[in-house]
Chain A
Amino acid sequence: MLTAILVLAGIGLALGALLGWASDYFKVEEDPIVDKIDAILPQTQCGQCGFPGCRPYAEAIAKGEADINRCPPGGEANIKQLAELLGVEAKPLGEGLEPKPKAVAVIDENTCIGCTLCIQACPVDAIVGASKQLHTIVADLCTGCELCLAPCPVDCIAMTVIPARLDNWKWQYPVIHLRQVA
């Protein structure tokens, strides 16, 4: 009886130690889910989701505090990817959120007073300028987050939709009139 107990306990201990060692030795360095979510988000840092940036939103999704359909710049494609990553159903963009065409902010250089308020607001440092100097937005770096619009005291920033050009033009989804054929 005692022998049996001892043997079993011994086996248990040995296997437990083996498992413990294995879990440590074969540890898989996996991206935490927050990083994976953050990698999908468009990094506009616009805050339209209600969180102060993409990372906080990613954290909220990971904790289950936020839905996956709160990101208008990411749009449908983003929701699809998030749904796949998290193994949930994709859904349409959340209420009150509208997808907008991609746009960049442009400063009206005649009106800018050089107050630097927009520079402080820009989450990606896409505005260059110094105090009392004319500011300008580096279009390539602008994510279109619109965060610079509100702080400007003279309303000199406007959003400009990026027009279709030869270098960003895309082939459209082929239209097949299957049902209309007579």
Chain B
Amino acid sequence: MRAIHPFHGGVHLAEHKTESTGTAIGWMSLLPRYVVPLSQHIGQPAIPVVKPGDRVLRGQMIGRPTGTISTAVHAPTSGIVSAVEMHPVAHPSGLTGLCVVIESDGADRAVEMSGIDWRNLDPAEVQAHVRDLGLAGLGGAVFPSAIKLQRGNAARIPTLILNGSECEPWITCDDMLMRERADATLRGAAMMRHLLGADTVLVGIEDNKPQAIAAMTEAARQAPFPVEIVAVPTLYPSGGAKQLTRLLTGLDNPTGKLSTEIGVQVFNVGTAYSMYRALELGEPMISRVVTVTGHVPRPGNFEARIGTPLRDLLAAAGGDLPGTTGHIIGGPMMGFDLDDARAPVVKAVNCIIAKRVEQFPPAAPAMPCIRCGQCAQACPAELQPFELYWYAKAKDFEKTRRYNLFDCIECGCCSYVCPSHIPLVDYYRFAKSEIRAHELDAQASQAARERHDFRTFRLEREKREKAEKLAQKATTRLDSGAVAEDDPAAAKKKAILQAAIERAAKAKVATTPQNTDNLSPTVQREIDAIEARRQAAPDDAAATGRQPTEAP
């Protein structure tokens, strides 16, 4: 029995797990349309490699990874790309993101897929393969998996941890995956173990999932390499990578460093399963298990293709019951409110909860902080949340940074226990995004300063060179004795410029419209309005001066 090294703080939560574990993982019927966002992972969004009208097959790459931290995106079914456009996505902002819309042809034909010989190939090649198959961590952070398979400067990473803790209430996708696909999950772990050179493989599972523990233990018994299935006490957030590492190994991941520096790499169990599908079968990451629970008639888990609109996923569980007040993407502790149910399932979506007021009452009004310290007792990062709140509220970002704001994992324990019902994490998120924005601004202004300095230098150099040239010319002219009365070249230049201005003015008034056949009435109205503005513009501009126009 492995010793458990408890972490500081944490909270006991009402689990709400049994609601969605009653039935096996369900399969969804093919939908007529899928919407696949190009930015589903941390890092650079994928670059679309298809255009409207293109025919795609299931598993075909539609977004190419770019930059160091990136991964590919694939078509979830066969069909025709109808658009590459901005579409609502699952994001706390409720903003839109660039998506590839695929109208399925119903045939669901796949590209040719085949596994690779990962045992004998060069690790770099395997990693490139993982990147091209679009693998990203399914635990929530969606970090591109290929990068996590690199050993860095270390000769090997001795400890591989599979994270099956799933500590958030309501979510059961990892639980069900482990119950039903334990064997394949451990096969994925074998590949990770091989690539990292790990000798210890630990699977941490919260002890409120006895069936998953049993299934995984059975699979571990048959695995060709040693695997330890460790039941960890049910205490949120035991599924945080750093917390789980502490629980299983007693090691603290140093701040700002990768866990590989302490010889540990952590993957979600779902990622291990996808790794098996990718390397053994050659299947890219085009589906994942998602929990649909809460106020729906048939809560459960579904194998959903990436790109499935969330309202179709909800419909698979019977749709929202009357009295649904909204949806949470992810768990109630770290998830976010869904703005638009047209947003699709992405690699990060592990759960959707239909809310009703009895289970998710509106937040109680916040009272002043009385510094009771319950947040500090609950904080798994061992921070002093009330101090962070104090400074974030005052927008004293320098102080929040010194009180280690960036060690906050936004687990929500502090807000959960706060007797004053202060939305503490909202303050931290605010402070973090302000600090990040400020850093970007500082970088931009540094770059602008450099460019400005260089320009000043260039102008001065040009002036100097010109003066030297003139001086030289003057000497030669004096020598020849001929001094021009007027500069005909300058006059000619002026005339050309004037002519161009006139041409442009004419062009502005009488630009020949294009693509004006078969217009809808709305578009035609818009065009008319624009024309009217264009006609009026020259006088307006003269009268009111230039006004910056705002983008819609």
Contacts and interface: CB of A to CB of B under 8 A. Distances in A.
A171 B433 contact: yes
A159 B452 contact: no
B501 A153 contact: yes
B426 A43 contact: no
A2 interface: no
A44 B448 contact: yes
Contacts of B258: none
A124 B507 contact: no
B441 A42 contact: yes
B549 A54 contact: no
Contact of B454 (A45, A114, A125, A177): A125
B488 interface: no
Contact of B434 (A143, A160, A170): A170
B437 interface: yes
Is the interface on chain A under 10, 10 to 19, 20 to 34, or 35 or more residues?
Answer: 35 or more
Interface stretch (A9-17, A62-70, A161-169): A161-169
Contact of A45 (B368, B446, B452, B503): B452
B452 A43 contact: yes
Contacts, number: 119
B427 interface: yes
A110 interface: yes
Contacts of B433: 169-171
Contact of A174 (B93, B367, B430, B446): B430
Contacts of A168: 437
Interface in A99-157: 100-101, 103, 110-115, 123-126, 141, 143, 146, 149-150, 153-156
A165 B95 contact: yes
A174 B549 CA distance: 30
B430 A125 contact: no
A153 B497 contact: yes
Contact of A111 (B444, B507, B548): B507
A173 B367 CA distance: 17
Interface in B411-427: 422-423, 426-427
Contact of B429 (A42, A150, A171): A171
A3 interface: no
B551 A160 contact: yes
Interface string B463-507: 000000000000000000000000000000000010011011101
The B contact surface, by secondary structure, is helix
B539 interface: no
Please indicate which of the listed interface residues A143, A158, A171 has the most CB atoms of chain B within 10 Å of its own CB: A171
Please indicate which of the listed interface residues A100, A112, A159 has the most CB atoms of chain B within 10 Å of its own CB: A159
Nearest to B427: A174
A160 B547 CA distance: 11
Contacts of B438: 77
A115 B497 contact: yes
A128 B356 CA distance: 56
B449 A54 contact: yes
Contacts of B446: 43
A88 interface: no
Contact of B541 (A53, A155, A164): A155
Contact of A177 (B365, B455, B551): B365
Contacts of B507: 110-111
B445 A154 contact: no
A178 interface: yes
A15 B429 CA distance: 57
B95 A111 contact: no
A141 B93 contact: no
Contacts of A149: 546, 548
B441 A159 contact: no
Given A141-B447, A171-B430, A124 B501 contact: no
Contacts of A114: 500
A23 interface: no
Contacts of A115: 497, 500
Contacts of B449: 38, 43, 54
Contacts of B550: 101, 103, 160-161
B500 A113 contact: yes
B441 A155 contact: no
Contacts of A54: 449, 452
B441 A111 contact: no
A124 B452 contact: yes
Given A166-B39, A171-B430, A141 B365 contact: no
A123 B452 contact: yes
A124 to B, nearest CB: 4
B233 interface: no
B451 interface: yes
A111 to B, nearest CB: 5
A43 B500 contact: no
A60 to B, nearest CB: 17
A149 B437 CA distance: 27
A125 B450 CA distance: 10
B508 A166 contact: no
A113 B145 CA distance: 49
A42 B447 CA distance: 10
Given A124-B448, A178-B365, A103 B427 contact: no
Contact of B549 (A43, A158, A173): A158
A43 B445 contact: yes
A166 B445 contact: no
Given A43-B448, A171-B429, A154 B93 contact: no
Interface in A21-69: 38, 41-45, 53-54
Nearest to B459: A120
Given A42-B445, A45-B448, A53-B452, 4 more contacts: A43-B449, A154-B505, A166-B89, A171-B432
6 contacts: A44-B445, A111-B507, A126-B451, A159-B549, A164-B93, A171-B433
Interface of A: 38, 41-45, 53-54, 77, 100-101, 103, 110-115, 123-126, 141, 143, 146, 149-150, 153-156, 158-161, 163-166, 168-174, 176-178, 181
